[in-house]
Amino acid sequence: MTTVSITQLYSLLNEKVGKETAENLTGYIEEKIKAEFDRQSDILATKQDLSKLETKLTEKFLEAKADTIKWMFIFWIGQIAATFGFILLFLKK
């Protein structure tokens, strides 16, 4: 498949349909291409976007890890207290 630049397309159309029609058609094609490019570039993520996302996710994971460690200590302190309570209960009998 061969590619044709806008200039080449304009030259070909100028010979067939005239200057004004060729200018209008190539201008329309350029606008459509630009609009599609702009639409696609809004959807795509850049390296900067991915870097920001990675930073946010890392912060969330670290926060979740710290929260998990905090609750683990609370759980184990409760378990130790309950174990000592049962030991003292059995020793008093």
What is the maximal distance between C-alpha atoms in the chain? Answer: 111
Residues contacting 53, CB < 8 A, separation 6+? 45
Walk along the chain (93 residues) and give the pLDDT tens digit of each residue.
577 777 777 787 778 888 888 788 888 888 998 999 888 887 888 888 899 999 999 999 999 999 999 999 999 999 999 999 999 999 987
pTM over 0.85: no
